[in-house]
Amino acid sequence: MNTTTNPKTPPNRVLYATMGLLLAVLLIGAGGFLWLSGQNGNNPVSIGGPFTLEDGNGKSVTDRDFRGKYMLVYFGYTFCPDVCPTTLNAVADAMDKLGPAAARVQPLFITVDPKRDTPPVVKLYAAAFGSSIEGLTGTPEQVAKAAKAYRVYYAEHRTGPGPDDYSMDHSSVLYLMGPDGAFVGPVRADESGSEIAADVKKLMG
Ligand code: NI
Protein backbone atom coordinates (compact mmCIF):
# COMPACT_ATOMS: atom_id res chain seq x y z
CA MET A 1 0.00 0.00 0.00
CA ASN A 2 1.32 3.39 -0.91
CA THR A 3 0.88 5.63 2.10
CA THR A 4 2.88 8.57 0.80
CA THR A 5 0.82 11.66 1.47
CA ASN A 6 0.48 14.34 -1.10
CA PRO A 7 1.13 17.60 0.79
CA LYS A 8 -1.68 19.28 -1.15
CA THR A 9 -4.31 16.71 -0.12
CA PRO A 10 -6.24 17.62 3.00
CA PRO A 11 -4.91 15.29 5.70
CA ASN A 12 -8.37 14.10 6.72
CA ARG A 13 -9.15 12.75 3.30
CA VAL A 14 -5.90 10.76 3.27
CA LEU A 15 -6.64 9.46 6.75
CA TYR A 16 -10.17 8.37 5.85
CA ALA A 17 -9.03 6.79 2.60
CA THR A 18 -6.31 4.86 4.44
CA MET A 19 -8.72 3.76 7.15
CA GLY A 20 -11.22 2.65 4.55
CA LEU A 21 -8.60 0.57 2.77
CA LEU A 22 -7.39 -0.96 6.02
CA LEU A 23 -10.94 -1.84 7.01
CA ALA A 24 -11.56 -3.42 3.61
CA VAL A 25 -8.38 -5.49 3.91
CA LEU A 26 -9.31 -6.57 7.45
CA LEU A 27 -12.83 -7.55 6.42
CA ILE A 28 -11.61 -9.53 3.41
CA GLY A 29 -8.95 -11.21 5.56
CA ALA A 30 -11.41 -12.15 8.29
CA GLY A 31 -13.99 -13.26 5.76
CA GLY A 32 -11.46 -15.46 4.03
CA PHE A 33 -10.43 -17.07 7.29
CA LEU A 34 -14.02 -17.63 8.37
CA TRP A 35 -14.92 -18.95 4.96
CA LEU A 36 -12.06 -21.45 4.99
CA SER A 37 -12.57 -22.61 8.54
CA GLY A 38 -16.34 -22.68 8.20
CA GLN A 39 -16.63 -21.01 11.58
CA ASN A 40 -19.21 -18.42 10.63
CA GLY A 41 -21.99 -20.85 11.36
CA ASN A 42 -23.29 -21.72 7.93
CA ASN A 43 -20.41 -23.79 6.53
CA PRO A 44 -20.40 -22.37 3.01
CA VAL A 45 -17.32 -24.42 2.10
CA SER A 46 -18.07 -27.63 0.32
CA ILE A 47 -15.40 -30.03 1.54
CA GLY A 48 -15.58 -33.79 1.37
CA GLY A 49 -18.33 -35.88 -0.07
CA PRO A 50 -18.72 -39.38 -1.39
CA PHE A 51 -15.57 -41.33 -2.06
CA THR A 52 -14.82 -44.90 -3.10
CA LEU A 53 -11.36 -46.16 -2.24
CA GLU A 54 -9.56 -49.35 -1.21
CA ASP A 55 -8.55 -50.28 2.30
CA GLY A 56 -5.30 -51.98 3.31
CA ASN A 57 -6.71 -55.36 2.32
CA GLY A 58 -7.69 -54.19 -1.15
CA LYS A 59 -11.35 -54.17 -0.16
CA SER A 60 -13.56 -51.39 -1.54
CA VAL A 61 -14.53 -48.79 1.07
CA THR A 62 -16.69 -45.70 0.81
CA ASP A 63 -17.28 -42.70 3.05
CA ARG A 64 -20.53 -44.33 4.16
CA ASP A 65 -18.58 -47.11 5.88
CA PHE A 66 -17.46 -44.55 8.47
CA ARG A 67 -20.87 -43.06 9.32
CA GLY A 68 -21.46 -42.71 13.04
CA LYS A 69 -17.86 -41.75 13.67
CA TYR A 70 -15.94 -38.56 13.12
CA MET A 71 -13.38 -38.96 10.34
CA LEU A 72 -10.07 -37.17 10.74
CA VAL A 73 -8.90 -37.17 7.14
CA TYR A 74 -5.36 -36.58 5.95
CA PHE A 75 -3.99 -36.86 2.41
CA GLY A 76 -0.31 -37.71 1.93
CA TYR A 77 1.96 -40.50 0.72
CA THR A 78 4.15 -43.11 2.36
CA PHE A 79 7.40 -42.04 0.67
CA CYS A 80 6.98 -38.53 2.11
CA PRO A 81 10.28 -37.67 3.79
CA ASP A 82 9.03 -35.33 6.51
CA VAL A 83 5.58 -33.77 6.61
CA CYS A 84 3.46 -36.93 6.43
CA PRO A 85 5.30 -38.97 9.06
CA THR A 86 5.43 -35.96 11.39
CA THR A 87 1.70 -35.36 10.95
CA LEU A 88 0.74 -39.01 11.42
CA ASN A 89 2.87 -39.20 14.57
CA ALA A 90 1.00 -36.17 15.88
CA VAL A 91 -2.37 -37.71 14.93
CA ALA A 92 -1.48 -40.93 16.77
CA ASP A 93 -0.45 -38.85 19.77
CA ALA A 94 -3.69 -36.84 19.51
CA MET A 95 -5.70 -40.09 19.58
CA ASP A 96 -3.95 -41.00 22.86
CA LYS A 97 -4.62 -37.53 24.26
CA LEU A 98 -8.32 -37.64 23.27
CA GLY A 99 -8.95 -40.36 25.85
CA PRO A 100 -12.45 -41.87 25.70
CA ALA A 101 -13.43 -39.42 22.90
CA ALA A 102 -10.96 -41.23 20.63
CA ALA A 103 -13.50 -44.05 20.28
CA ARG A 104 -15.65 -41.64 18.25
CA VAL A 105 -12.82 -40.63 15.89
CA GLN A 106 -11.43 -42.58 12.92
CA PRO A 107 -8.21 -41.13 11.49
CA LEU A 108 -7.86 -41.83 7.77
CA PHE A 109 -4.66 -41.58 5.78
CA ILE A 110 -5.48 -41.34 2.07
CA THR A 111 -2.53 -41.63 -0.28
CA VAL A 112 -2.04 -39.25 -3.19
CA ASP A 113 0.55 -41.68 -4.64
CA PRO A 114 -1.54 -44.76 -5.54
CA LYS A 115 1.13 -45.94 -8.02
CA ARG A 116 3.51 -46.86 -5.20
CA ASP A 117 1.09 -46.93 -2.27
CA THR A 118 -0.69 -50.20 -2.89
CA PRO A 119 -3.09 -51.58 -0.25
CA PRO A 120 -0.39 -53.58 1.60
CA VAL A 121 1.92 -50.54 1.60
CA VAL A 122 -0.64 -48.13 3.09
CA LYS A 123 -1.74 -50.77 5.57
CA LEU A 124 1.78 -51.36 6.88
CA TYR A 125 2.56 -47.63 6.88
CA ALA A 126 -0.56 -46.54 8.76
CA ALA A 127 -0.15 -49.36 11.28
CA ALA A 128 3.37 -48.17 12.05
CA PHE A 129 1.93 -44.99 13.59
CA GLY A 130 -0.72 -46.65 15.68
CA SER A 131 -3.42 -49.18 15.12
CA SER A 132 -6.15 -46.53 15.05
CA ILE A 133 -5.03 -44.94 11.76
CA GLU A 134 -6.47 -46.54 8.66
CA GLY A 135 -4.60 -46.26 5.35
CA LEU A 136 -6.60 -45.93 2.15
CA THR A 137 -5.62 -46.04 -1.51
CA GLY A 138 -7.39 -46.72 -4.79
CA THR A 139 -7.07 -46.33 -8.52
CA PRO A 140 -5.51 -43.04 -9.65
CA GLU A 141 -9.02 -41.94 -10.70
CA GLN A 142 -10.56 -42.82 -7.32
CA VAL A 143 -7.79 -40.98 -5.48
CA ALA A 144 -8.09 -37.96 -7.78
CA LYS A 145 -11.83 -37.80 -7.17
CA ALA A 146 -11.44 -38.01 -3.39
CA ALA A 147 -8.69 -35.39 -3.38
CA LYS A 148 -10.80 -33.08 -5.51
CA ALA A 149 -13.73 -33.41 -3.13
CA TYR A 150 -11.48 -32.42 -0.24
CA ARG A 151 -9.83 -29.67 -2.27
CA VAL A 152 -6.46 -31.29 -1.82
CA TYR A 153 -3.70 -30.21 -4.15
CA TYR A 154 -1.10 -32.78 -5.21
CA ALA A 155 1.37 -33.12 -8.05
CA GLU A 156 4.21 -35.41 -9.02
CA HIS A 157 7.62 -33.80 -8.74
CA ARG A 158 10.35 -35.56 -10.76
CA THR A 159 13.67 -36.06 -8.96
CA GLY A 160 15.44 -38.27 -11.51
CA PRO A 161 15.01 -40.39 -14.65
CA GLY A 162 13.86 -43.61 -12.97
CA PRO A 163 10.20 -44.60 -12.67
CA ASP A 164 10.32 -44.18 -8.89
CA ASP A 165 12.37 -41.00 -8.95
CA TYR A 166 9.66 -38.64 -7.87
CA SER A 167 8.17 -37.05 -4.82
CA MET A 168 4.66 -35.73 -4.39
CA ASP A 169 3.91 -32.12 -3.62
CA HIS A 170 0.71 -32.03 -1.61
CA SER A 171 -1.31 -29.75 0.60
CA SER A 172 -1.26 -30.67 4.27
CA VAL A 173 -4.48 -30.16 6.20
CA LEU A 174 -6.46 -32.38 8.54
CA TYR A 175 -10.21 -32.41 7.91
CA LEU A 176 -12.64 -33.30 10.64
CA MET A 177 -15.83 -34.76 9.20
CA GLY A 178 -18.89 -35.37 11.34
CA PRO A 179 -20.66 -38.68 12.07
CA ASP A 180 -23.02 -37.76 9.20
CA GLY A 181 -20.07 -37.32 6.84
CA ALA A 182 -20.39 -33.54 6.65
CA PHE A 183 -17.40 -31.24 7.00
CA VAL A 184 -17.01 -29.96 10.56
CA GLY A 185 -13.79 -27.99 10.26
CA PRO A 186 -10.11 -28.01 9.36
CA VAL A 187 -7.36 -28.80 11.86
CA ARG A 188 -3.83 -27.58 11.35
CA ALA A 189 -1.53 -30.45 10.42
CA ASP A 190 1.60 -28.76 11.75
CA GLU A 191 0.45 -28.86 15.37
CA SER A 192 1.51 -31.14 18.20
CA GLY A 193 -0.61 -34.10 19.23
CA SER A 194 -1.97 -32.18 22.24
CA GLU A 195 -2.94 -29.23 20.05
CA ILE A 196 -4.64 -31.45 17.47
CA ALA A 197 -6.53 -33.26 20.25
CA ALA A 198 -7.66 -29.92 21.71
CA ASP A 199 -8.81 -28.66 18.27
CA VAL A 200 -10.67 -31.88 17.53
CA LYS A 201 -12.38 -31.84 20.94
CA LYS A 202 -13.43 -28.24 20.39
CA LEU A 203 -14.84 -29.01 16.94
CA MET A 204 -16.66 -32.07 18.29
CA GLY A 205 -18.42 -29.70 20.72
NI1 NI B 1 3.83 -35.54 2.83
Report the CATH number at residue 130: 3.40.30.10
Question: What is the per-residue pLDDT for 178?
Answer: 97
Q: In which band, very low, low, confident or very high, does the pLDDT at 70 lie, cut at 50, 70 and 90? A: very high
- The Å distance, Cα 95 to ligand 1 centre, comes to 20
- The Å distance, Cα 86 to ligand 1 centre, comes to 9
Half-sphere exposure of 1 (CA within 13 A, CB side): 11
Q: In which band, very low, low, confident or very high, does the pLDDT at 29 lie, cut at 50, 70 and 90? A: very low
* Residue 176 lies in domain: 49-204
Spatial neighbors of 136 by CB under 8 A, at least 6 apart, are: 53, 54, 55, 56, 61, 108, 109, 110, 111, 122
Are the CB atoms for 136 and 109 separated by under 8 Å? yes
Q: Which residues are found with C-beta within 5 Å of the ion, ligand 1? A: 76, 80, 83-84
To the question of pTM greater than 0.85 for the whole model, the response is no
Q: Looking at 24-33, 83-92, 103-112, 125-134, which range is the least confident one? A: 24-33
Residues 97 and 192 in one domain: yes
- The Å distance, Cα 188 to ligand 1 centre, comes to 14
Split into its structural domains, the chain has a count of: 2
Residues 20 and 111 in one domain: no
In this structure, is residue 156 part of a structural domain? yes
- The Å distance, Cα 12 to ligand 1 centre, comes to 51
Question: What is the per-residue pLDDT for 17?
Answer: 60
The residue-averaged pLDDT of 99-121 equals 97
Residues 22 and 115 in one domain: no
